[in-house]
Structure 1
Amino acid sequence: MRNIFKTGITTILATIVLSMYSKTIAQANYTFDEVQIDQNQVIAMAMPLSELQGLYSYKLIVLEQRSNERACWSESETGLYPILVEPLLLNFNFTGICGRATDSNGYSIRVDGNDLSMSYRLTLQNVDGEIKLFGISLSGDKVLVGRTGGISDGMMKIILEPGWQFTKRSYQDKTLGHFYFSYDSFAAKQSAIEQKIAEIESQIPYFSELDDNIL
């Protein structure tokens, strides 16, 4: 329990530092805006690369479903982790149908409206039996962005942490192909409150059953 509490505090502090740091460089990143996109039409996945001494390195890939002409990917059964991803777009000419980003030219971090592409990099690491997506600053500060929930030798879906979502970069009202892993501190607080309310409400039927048994 102590380790879980310590990990939670560390994650919260790292996110706060990231949010504060983003504000100090806001003036240097005024050029780009962001636009909301359908979260169901985008997926981030960890692709295993070479194996060294029994350990794999991983590459971050983002796919987008741009039209309904053909499915760009398929996922294994939801609820069983990690969720495996099959990149169906490799089987056809996906131009105009699917979008794909494979490096920092195609994706970056944005926090509270500030583009952090020049100060934070995204990296995948094998930690405690799952692959975690971190944003790491130039000074080494680390913030958790998402995780796979397990590990496999196939391509794994990355589940974003609360408060994080996919958006796209825009410039002068024009949507670009660049993806953001975007964090909204206000939305994260709202999500935490809603989750707490849901936990409380889930206990109500239990107490009602106790009252009925007593009567």
Structure 2
Amino acid sequence: MNTLLNLRIAALATLALSSVGYSQSAIANSLFSQLEVDQSRYVMVASPYGGNLHQLLILKQISNARPCWSESGSSPTTINPLLLEFDFTDICGRSTDSNGYSVRVGSEDLNWRYSFRVVKRNNDLHLIAASNVDRSAPELLIARTRGLTQGFAKFYPEPGWRLAERSYQGSSVGHIYLTHDQSLASLNAAAIASRPVSSPVPWTPVATPVVNTPVPTAPVVTIKPAPIVSTPQPVVQPAKPKPASKRSWWQRIFGR
């Protein structure tokens, strides 16, 4: 009876957390703890939707009445969600969004501050947790499918990552943690250190070819001197002296 009451209190506390602000993480840390689980009873799945997109789906085998999924192949491992073929109540558990799972690192609930995304990178599907508060914070790589597919595929967790359950006073409340023992600061530092560093491309000066462009030579124009045209000057003939008029005898005598 006390266990049932505690679970109800925990459920109400979880619901109340969704209506508070930044203090949500601190409240969750004070209320909840982490319960280790058998990893073989769970599977993280890249679930297809909207064509070529995927999202995180977590399946849990609650009882052994019927298998909840099957696995086949590798790189990637295909998941067949068998629970869709029967009434899986009390047999299988299914978590499809942030109401059913969240990130917990270094005993700290990240809650709404981080959200999950499935992205296609390097011929692989990566499950990452990205900050909703600080866009400059590095992404946390949690798992990968080890190959591409358009269907259901199994996520393989990265070293240090595992599944756990949220507990209240030692009892599970049904919420799943994707958890790591290191603190958020340590994981961020490791993520930054693992980023590929682009090597600077050495610069080699390229000699510019010298193009000798012939300069057109101005044609030599020989200017011939203009011919000197001698204009013949009219020859002035000296005036012929007029012959002295003969004076009459009268003029010679009287001077007239």
Cα offset for 1:49?
Answer: 1.1
Distance (whole Å) between structure 2 residues aligned to residue 107 and residue 26 of structure 1: 14
Distance (whole Å) between structure 2 residues aligned to residue 103 and residue 26 of structure 1: 18
Aligned to 2:75: 81
Q: Which amino acid in 1 is paired with 2:94?
A: R
Aligned to 2:57: 61
Distance (whole Å) between structure 2 residues aligned to residue 149 and residue 118 of structure 1: 28
Cα offset for 1:93?
Answer: 0.6
Aligned to 1:152: 149
2:96 to 98, 102, 110: 102
Aligned to 2:192: none
Aligned to 2:50: 50
Larger C-alpha radius of gyration, 1 or 2?
Answer: 2
1:131 aligns with 2:130: no
More helix by share: 1
Cα offset for 1:85?
Answer: 0.1
The secondary structure found in structure 2 opposite 1:104 is coil
Distance (whole Å) between structure 2 residues aligned to residue 95 and residue 25 of structure 1: 31
1:115 aligns with 2:109: yes
Name the structure, 1 or 2, with higher relative contact order (CA <8 Å, separation 6+).
Answer: 1
Counting only pairs closer than 5 Å after superposition, residues 196-207 of structure 1 correspond to structure 2 as none
Please say if residues 115 and 131 of structure 2, whose CA atoms lie closer than 8 Å, have aligned partners that are also in contact. Answer: yes
Using structure 1 for the length normalisation, give the TM-score.
0.70
The secondary structure found in structure 2 opposite 1:153 is coil
Distance (whole Å) between structure 2 residues aligned to residue 179 and residue 61 of structure 1: 11
Cα offset for 1:177?
Answer: 1.1
Identity of aligned residues (%): 39
Distance (whole Å) between structure 2 residues aligned to residue 117 and residue 47 of structure 1: 22
Distance (whole Å) between structure 1 residues aligned to residue 151 and residue 180 of structure 2: 28
The secondary structure found in structure 2 opposite 1:30 is helix
Unaligned segments of structure 2, at least 5 residues: 1-22, 187-256
Distance (whole Å) between structure 1 residues aligned to residue 48 and residue 181 of structure 2: 30
Distance (whole Å) between structure 2 residues aligned to residue 60 and residue 118 of structure 1: 16
Distance (whole Å) between structure 1 residues aligned to residue 26 and residue 172 of structure 2: 21
Name the count of aligned residue pairs. 159
Using structure 2 for the length normalisation, give the TM-score.
0.59
Distance (whole Å) between structure 2 residues aligned to residue 90 and residue 161 of structure 1: 28
Cα offset for 1:57?
Answer: 1.4
More strand by share: 1
Q: Which amino acid in 2 is paired with 1:106?
A: G
Q: Which amino acid in 2 is paired with 1:89?
A: L
Distance (whole Å) between structure 1 residues aligned to residue 86 and residue 24 of structure 2: 42
Unaligned segments of structure 1, at least 5 residues: 1-23, 189-215
Alpha-carbon deviations, 1:144-171, whole Å to 9, x = none? 0000010112100000000000000111
Distance (whole Å) between structure 1 residues aligned to residue 152 and residue 38 of structure 2: 22
Please say if residues 104 and 180 of structure 2, whose CA atoms lie closer than 8 Å, have aligned partners that are also in contact. Answer: yes
The secondary structure found in structure 2 opposite 1:27 is helix
Alpha-carbon deviations, 1:173-214, whole Å to 9, x = none? 22111110010139x9xxxxxxxxxxxxxxxxxxxxxxxxxx
Distance (whole Å) between structure 1 residues aligned to residue 101 and residue 159 of structure 2: 19
**What value does the CA root-mean-square deviation take over the aligned residues?**
2.1
Aligned to 2:166: 169
Please say if residues 102 and 111 of structure 2, whose CA atoms lie closer than 8 Å, have aligned partners that are also in contact. Answer: yes
Q: Which amino acid in 2 is paired with 1:85?
A: I
